[in-house]
């Protein structure tokens, strides 16, 4: 989409919205900010910790929602609930950037007067150093997100001596940062708003900081981290709110995130008032009970995510198109929805793009009566296709992870395969191991069960990342295109759509919808369902807000 | 004496070395054990993975990696985790050890007392209802998996009956060090102790009962009774002393392996972040340094416990000495 | 006490006052059988055990004719008739926020008598099928464990010296061995593969793997007490006398050592069965052993963990099955031990 046009549109919308808010705020001053809510200690529970405290490296849904409150990037996703949470707003930049040079040059003016949690002032040097650091510490997305920056190719090859020469230039005199891209990138502002691009002091250690907190500009700072015990966040003493949308002053004074125990124990703790929120999904056997006994403590929110079963298109039996299509006709997505907790918590999907992703178009072929939505499986068609494919009777192993939902889905798929005439078994392995196992072609995984959550709201995040030729690397543990599909025609169209997004966003969205439909004609995977997020919160928690990007906004809720 | 101690030490080294090598080999024989992609992060570029591989020394030959790992673990003690980069292994294990030690020691006291009491009582009233009842409960205890018992205990104490007078004193799940708050430490450990001890009370009670009954038939018992010793004294002093040997041996094995981390299910269910849970977390993500450290930690305790127990057995029953 | 056959057959039956157990050479098995037949406890428990085994073997009949379900297929969209009305097996919650799907509870009728598990499968049918796998795995691994433990324990205790040293080291290593690591590794290695060893084909669902693993895991637990017992027996007058007289070690082992050790083994047996059934559930959780959709009491127990708060029957049913089986084994084992031990007959 065109930055300038949409920026203007958004600015206008925001301006009007801002005026309205001011008006309302003036009329009801008590609603604006209730100082009594500031303070208190918020208690979070998680079964286990998940890696390093380094925002440039950690790529987990568990810690990203914390990093957005301890660190800031040039841009940020708006910290509000609802659809506006997908908007990017300037954070450490004073305003939206000037985009010139056909979309290849972004110029930001850095805000003045911001300090890190160690008291140091934020300068352009810190910004430049932080971008270099992304490559120096081998951030997971240095290749996928930031390789478009001029000089990145050298950095990817030789990380230690990374200078990003010509790519990120800081001018201390004018307080501006100029970023030059190799080619226009409609998603670049999104990429600047994720934790992998936050700004740290220039003297931060240029390797994974591990358990050592890195000073940041956010409203909170990390006080201590023991991966086996707890993570403590306290207020950043040098923080002064500069933008409520980008980095609001957090309500709790202290956040204690304790690791250990089980999901059931966490539910009990929240019900007993000993904790405020748990990261893991509420176990399914408590949902019905809680729906009735504590409905006001439950929050259900849509997620831009999907559960799917990648089909390996390069080895039998799913190297046969008919076999893949047969599976798509045969899977009863309603049954899988009930495994996940019912229609209130999941919806069947037929397309690769989840319903809330821009570009999604409601079209479903693989169902009893093709149309917009999925209705019922078509076993007759499925059987016929299996016969046609000639793969009947072959051995198939479904590889699932060891969560109870993963196992249930895997077992269900095995039932379907058996019904279609295959000799099917299912194997579940621990989640972290399973994720890399199913990517490596050396393991000859025929069908697996996995999920994908958006990194940012762009269709390419699903279509290009999961089914593009670039994501397929045989023999590697990092080959997210688990289907192994590489269709030149569709690949070219995807690249074209990404470029088109810069000039004509609406057309690009339509094209993504078409690519989705055409990709599903090749059936490289079985879309299963799109989940909703269920949060159980304590009775004392207020102002629960859910961001489509970072889920529950930790600092936006209060505990007193 | 010195020779015995030295031979035991040698044995410890042999056992630990053997286990470390086997662990290492199993790890690298497992497909998808290569941690580079997991360390590098989701969807990392191939160059990134290569850089990580070099950084962690994963491209060196196996024996070099083994040697480096042993050196970092024992000599320089700066071994870091594959899963939580920057997390030092040795301090992590050291921090988790007191929790496990508290759990297992307390449970051990309970199960030895309970087991011995059960065994003696059942043997004394052999064939009558106390015997049948105790043995029935013992069998139940052995047949109920500890994770199930733990979850049931939590269901009752933390959920269904949490607000009643009976269980409102039960604190939130988790471990509080004794030095921090002895009262809370005790209250939070009561149910974990009982849960863990339950199984072993059943086992030991049963073994002891059978042992006493058998020993009762021995000659020296008949002699003692003929000499006029009353039933109770005979029972306690003579029969138990002989019958307790297998219990002591079992205790050494159980205590050793539990302190080393076999109480993982109890730890997880009750939120006690001990060595067992640490091992389990490491296994789930195939974090080799942590696995290696916890496995060696466990084997150390197993060997030490067995050595101590062998010594105890010699003291209790000199017949066990080799002529 | 010499080696000549005539003298051996002329030996009197085991003298109870001899102070140790010796198996009589005259019809020992007949005596054992008579002892067992004469004990009501043994007869009833044996009969019930046989009943349990038969019930598990009749699982296919139950599933097909009584329950009318296929307990290995996901029953996520199944419906059954209760009072003439079709009722879904996986019940959508309709009260409050309407979140969650709960499997049907015990109907106490022919269909879904004990309710459904998290995948809509009939728990009662799976319990019966599961009994086959559990009893087989637990039984085989117990026998294997006792066999190996007896050999190792006796060898270490009796032979002493270097043999004892090596075996004790081995025992320590097995006891400290990271079994779960091996299990996880095996489960990953065996995905989609199968290996052939002579007549055995080992694939990921093969029961041979868990039988071997479980059989080995508890060997130290039994071997060390046995070794301790043997060490004590070494000092007993009879063994020392026999040795002094130059009697073959094999004979000493068979007539003196083994009988004394056998009671320990018999006491361990039911307890090991129980421990093994539970260990099997942990192994199956790690995907080594009984694979979905096959069932074992351990896997049903694991399934029940996620339904503990809403459908506790799913974990209670296998738990009770395990308990009852173990109890019966114990009762039978008690009588067997008494019968095999002539001295204890006096104490009754």
Query: Which 3 state secondary structure label does DSSP give A233?
Result: strand
C284 touches chain A (CB under 8 A): no
A22 touches chain C (CB under 8 A): no
Our CA-based measurement puts residue C328 at a distance from the nearest CA of chain B, in whole angstroms, of 10
Contact C61, C108 (CB under 8 A): no
Distance CA B168, CA B187 (A): 11
Distance CA A362, CA A364 (A): 7
> Which residue's entry shows tokens 């078994």?
A425
Beta-strand relationship, C194-197 and C200-203: antiparallel
Maximum average pLDDT range among A181-190, A427-436, C264-273, C321-330: A181-190
Phi, psi torsion values for C80, nearest 5 degrees: -125, 165
> Which residue's entry shows tokens 């001011």?
A22
- Determine the residue among C135, C159, C178, C285 to mutate to test chain B binding: the one whose Cβ has the most chain B Cβ atoms within 10 Å: C178
* pLDDT of amino acid C56: 94
Share of chain A above pLDDT 90, in %: 78
**Contacts A271 to B, Cβ<8 Å:** 159
Query: Which 3 state secondary structure label does DSSP give A397?
Result: strand
Distance CA C160, CA B4 (A): 15
**Burial class of residue C197 (count of CB atoms within 10 Å of its CB; 0-12, 13-18, 19+):** exposed
B127 touches chain C (CB under 8 A): yes
Distance CA A63, CA C140 (A): 47
CA distances from A329 to A296, A313, A451, A527, B18 (A): 39, 17, 20, 11, 53
Our CA-based measurement puts residue A263 at a distance from the nearest CA of chain C, in whole angstroms, of 10
CA distances from A160 to A135, A143, A199 (A): 8, 15, 19
Our CA-based measurement puts residue C27 at a distance from the nearest CA of chain B, in whole angstroms, of 23
Maximum average pLDDT range among A235-239, A335-339, C283-287: A235-239
More confidently predicted of A179 and C247: A179
Angle at the Cα of B137 (from B136 to B139), degrees rounded to 5?
65
CA distances from B267 to A47, A424, C163 (A): 12, 36, 38
- Determine the residue among B3, B19, B124, B143 to mutate to test chain C binding: the one whose Cβ has the most chain C Cβ atoms within 10 Å: B143
Query: CB-CB: which of B32, B33, B145 is closest to C278?
Result: B145
Contact yes or no for C160 and B322 at CB 8 A: yes
Model confidence pLDDT, tens digit, residues A387-434? 999 999 999 999 999 888 998 999 999 999 999 999 999 998 888 889
Contact yes or no for B174 and A439 at CB 8 A: no
Phi/psi zone of residue B185: left (φ > 0), alpha (ψ -120 to 50 degrees), beta? alpha
pLDDT per residue rounded down to tens, chain B (323 residues): 788 788 888 888 999 999 999 999 999 988 888 888 888 888 888 888 888 888 888 889 989 999 999 999 999 988 988 887 778 899 999 999 999 999 999 999 999 999 999 998 888 888 788 888 898 899 888 888 888 899 889 989 988 888 888 888 888 888 889 888 999 999 999 999 999 999 999 999 988 988 888 777 776 667 777 777 666 666 667 777 778 888 899 999 999 999 988 888 899 899 999 999 999 889 888 899 999 999 999 999 999 998 898 888 888 877 766 64
For every residue of B79-128, DSSP letters joined together read -B-SSSTT-BHHHHHHHHHHHHHHHHHHHHHHHHHHHHHHHHHHHHTTTS
**Contacts B151 to A, Cβ<8 Å:** 262, 264
More confidently predicted of A556 and C242: A556
For every residue of A462-504, DSSP letters joined together read HHHHHHSGGG--TT-S----TT----HHHHHHHHHHHHHHHH-
B10 touches chain C (CB under 8 A): no
Interhelix angle C313-340/B129-143, nearest 10 degrees: 130
Distance CA A537, CA A294 (A): 10
Please say if the pLDDT value at position A166 is more than 50: yes
Our CA-based measurement puts residue B36 at a distance from the nearest CA of chain C, in whole angstroms, of 18
> In this structure, what DSSP letter does residue A226 have?
E
* pLDDT of amino acid A23: 45
Query: Which 3 state secondary structure label does DSSP give A179?
Result: strand
Contact yes or no for B174 and A258 at CB 8 A: yes
Other beta carbons within 10 angstroms of residue C108's beta carbon come to 10
Beta-strand relationship, A525-536 and A305-310: antiparallel
Contact yes or no for C176 and B135 at CB 8 A: no
Interface of A with C in 378-397 (CB under 8 A): 395, 397
**Contacts B96 to A, Cβ<8 Å:** 228
**Contacts C323 to B, Cβ<8 Å:** 139-140, 143-144
Please say if the pLDDT value at position C18 is more than 50: no
The pair of three-digit structure tokens given for residue A230, joined into one six-digit string: 């707890």
A52 touches chain B (CB under 8 A): yes
Angle at the Cα of B41 (from B39 to B43), degrees rounded to 5?
140
Positive or negative, the CA dihedral A25, A29, A34, A35 is positive
User: Is cis: bond before B107, omega within 30 of 0?
Assistant: no
Query: CB-CB: which of A292, A414, A444 is closest to C96?
Result: A292
**Residue A132 CA to chain centroid, in angstroms?**
23
* pLDDT of amino acid A34: 65
Other beta carbons within 10 angstroms of residue A503's beta carbon come to 15
Please say if the pLDDT value at position C105 is more than 50: yes
Whether the pTM exceeds 0.90: the reply is no
Q: Around C272, how many Cα atoms within 13 Å sit in the side-chain half-sphere?
A: 30
């Amino acid at each position: 989409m065109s930055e300038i046009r949409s920026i203007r549109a958004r600015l206008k919308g925001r301006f009007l919205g801002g005026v309205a808010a001011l008006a309302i705020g003036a009329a009801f001053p008590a609603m604006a900010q209730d100082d009594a809510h500031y303070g208190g200690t918020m208690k979070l529970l998680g079964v286990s910790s998940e890696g390093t405290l380094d925002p440039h490296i950690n790529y987990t849904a568990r810690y990203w929602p914390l990093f957005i409150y301890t660190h800031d990037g040039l841009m940020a996703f708006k910290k509000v609930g609802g659809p506006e949470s997908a908007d990017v707003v300037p954070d450490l930049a004073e305003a939206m950037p000037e985009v010139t040079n056909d979309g290849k040059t972004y110029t930001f003016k850095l805000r003045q007067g911001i300090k890190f949690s160690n008291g140091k002032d934020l300068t352009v040097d810190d910004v430049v150093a932080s971008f270099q650091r992304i490559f120096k510490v081998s951030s997971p997305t240095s290749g996928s997100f930031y390789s478009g920056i001029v000089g990145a190719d050298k950095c990817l090859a030789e990380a230690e001596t990374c200078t990003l020469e010509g790519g990120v230039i800081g001018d201390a005199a004018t307080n501006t940062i100029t970023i030059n891209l190799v080619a226009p990138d409609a998603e670049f502002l999104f990429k600047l708003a994720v934790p992998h691009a936050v700004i740290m002091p220039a003297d931060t250690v240029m390797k994974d900081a591990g358990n050592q907190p890195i000073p940041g500009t956010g409203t909170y700072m990390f006080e201590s981290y023991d991966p086996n015990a707890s993570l403590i966040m306290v207020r950043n003493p040098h923080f002064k709110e500069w933008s409520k949308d980008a980095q609001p002053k957090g309500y709790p004074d202290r956040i204690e995130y304790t690791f250990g125990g089980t999901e059931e124990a966490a539910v009990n703790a929240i019900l007993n008032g000993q904790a405020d929120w748990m990261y893991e999904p509420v176990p399914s056997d408590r949902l019905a009970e809680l729906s009735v006994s504590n409905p006001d403590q439950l929050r259900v929110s849509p997620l831009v995510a999907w559960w799917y079963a990648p089909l390996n298109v390069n080895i039998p039996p799913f190297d046969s198109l008919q076999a893949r299509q047969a599976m798509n006709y045969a899977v009863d997505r309603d049954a899988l929805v009930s495994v996940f907790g019912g229609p209130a918590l999941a919806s069947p999907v037929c397309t690769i793009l989840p319903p809330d992703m821009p570009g999604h178009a409601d079209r479903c072929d693989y169902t009893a009566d093709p149309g917009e939505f999925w209705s019922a499986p078509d076993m007759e068609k499925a059987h016929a296709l299996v016969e046609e494919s000639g793969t009947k009777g072959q051995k198939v192993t479904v590889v699932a992870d060891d969560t109870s939902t993963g196992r249930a889905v895997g077992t269900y798929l095995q039932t379907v395969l058996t019904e279609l005439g295959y000799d099917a078994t299912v194997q579940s392995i621990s989640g972290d191991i399973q994720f890399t196992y199913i990517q490596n072609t050396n393991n000859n995984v025929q069908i697996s069960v996995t999920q994908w959550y958006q990194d940012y709201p762009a269709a390419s995040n699903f279509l290009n990342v999961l089914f593009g030729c670039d994501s397929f690397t045989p023999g590697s543990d990092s080959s997210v295109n688990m289907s192994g599909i590489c269709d030149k025609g569709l690949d070219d169209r995807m690249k074209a759509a990404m470029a088109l997004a810069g000039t004509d966003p609406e057309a690009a969205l339509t094209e993504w919808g078409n690519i989705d439909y055409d990709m599903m004609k090749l059936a490289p995977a079985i879309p299963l369902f799109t989940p909703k997020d269920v949060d159980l919160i304590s009775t004392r928690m207020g102002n629960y807000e859910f961001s489509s990007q970072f889920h529950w906004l930790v600092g936006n809720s209060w505990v007193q | 004496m010195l020779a015995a101690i030295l031979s035991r030490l040698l044995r410890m080294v042999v056992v630990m070395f053997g286990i470390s090598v086997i662990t290492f080999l199993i790890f690298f024989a497992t497909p998808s054990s290569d941690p580079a992609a997991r360390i590098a992060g989701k969807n990392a570029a191939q160059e990134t993975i290569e850089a990580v591989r070099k950084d962690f020394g994963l491209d060196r030959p196996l024996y070099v990696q083994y040697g480096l790992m042993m050196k970092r673990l024992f000599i320089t003690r700066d071994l870091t985790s594959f899963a939580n980069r920057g997390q030092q292994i040795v301090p992590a294990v050291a921090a988790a050890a007191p929790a496990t030690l508290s759990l297992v020691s307390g449970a051990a006291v309970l199960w030895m007392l309970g087991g011995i009491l059960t065994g003696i009582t059942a043997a004394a009233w052999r064939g009558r209802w106390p015997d049948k009842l105790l043995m029935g409960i013992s069998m139940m205890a052995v047949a109920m998996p500890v994770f199930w018992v733990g979850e049931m205990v939590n269901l009752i104490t933390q959920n269904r009956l949490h607000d009643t007078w009976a269980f409102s004193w039960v604190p939130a799940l988790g471990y509080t060090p004794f030095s921090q708050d002895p009262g809370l430490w005790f209250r939070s450990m009561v149910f974990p102790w009982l849960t863990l001890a339950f199984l072993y009370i059943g086992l030991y009670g049963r073994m002891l009962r059978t042992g006493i009954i058998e020993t009762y038939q021995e000659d020296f018992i008949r002699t003692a009774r003929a000499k006029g010793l009353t039933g109770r004294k005979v029972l306690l002093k003579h029969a138990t002393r002989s019958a307790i040997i297998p219990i002591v041996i079992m205790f050494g094995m159980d205590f050793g392996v539990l302190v080393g981390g076999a109480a993982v299910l109890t730890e997880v269910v009750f939120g006690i972040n001990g060595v067992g849970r640490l091992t389990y977390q490491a296994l789930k993500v195939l974090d080799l340094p942590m696995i290696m450290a916890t496995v060696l930690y466990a084997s150390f305790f197993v060997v030490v416990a067995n050595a101590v127990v062998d010594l105890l057995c010699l003291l209790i029953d000199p017949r066990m000495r080799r002529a | 006490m010499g080696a000549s056959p005539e003298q051996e057959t002329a030996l009197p039956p085991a003298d109870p006052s001899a102070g140790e157990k010796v198996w009589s050479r005259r019809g020992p098995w007949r005596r054992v059988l008579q002892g067992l037949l004469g004990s009501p406890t043994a007869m009833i428990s044996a009969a019930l055990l046989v009943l349990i085994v038969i019930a598990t073997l009749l699982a296919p009949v139950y599933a097909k004719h009584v329950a009318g379900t296929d307990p290995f297929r996901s029953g996520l969209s199944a419906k059954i008739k209760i009072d003439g009305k079709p009722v879904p097996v996986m019940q959508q919650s309709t009260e409050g926020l309407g979140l969650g799907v709960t499997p049907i509870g015990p109907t106490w009728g022919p269909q879904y008598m004990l309710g459904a598990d998290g995948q809509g499968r009939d728990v009662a049918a799976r319990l019966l099928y599961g009994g086959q796998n559990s009893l087989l795995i637990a039984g085989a691994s117990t026998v294997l464990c006792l066999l190996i433990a007896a050999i190792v324990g006796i060898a270490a205790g009796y032979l002493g010296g270097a043999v004892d040293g090596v075996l004790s080291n081995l025992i320590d290593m097995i006891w400290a061995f990271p079994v779960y690591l091996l299990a996880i590794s095996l489960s990953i290695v065996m995905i989609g593969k199968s290996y052939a060893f002579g007549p055995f084909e080992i694939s990921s669902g093969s029961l041979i793997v868990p039988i071997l693993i479980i059989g080995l895991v508890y060997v130290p637990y039994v071997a060390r007490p046995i070794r301790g017992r043997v060490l004590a027996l070494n000092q007993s007058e009879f063994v020392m006398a026999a040795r002094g007289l130059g009697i073959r070690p094999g004979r000493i082992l068979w007539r003196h050592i083994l009988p004394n050790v056998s009671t320990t083994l018999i006491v361990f047996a039911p307890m090991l069965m129980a421990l093994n059934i539970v260990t099997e559930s942990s192994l199956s959780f790690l995907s080594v052993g009984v694979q979905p959709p096959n069932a074992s009491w351990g896997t049903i127990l694991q399934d029940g963990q996620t339904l503990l708060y809403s459908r506790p029957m799913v974990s209670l049913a296998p738990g009770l099955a395990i308990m009852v089986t173990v109890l019966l084994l114990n009762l039978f084992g008690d009588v067997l031990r008494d019968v095999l031990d002539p001295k204890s007959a006096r104490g009754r």
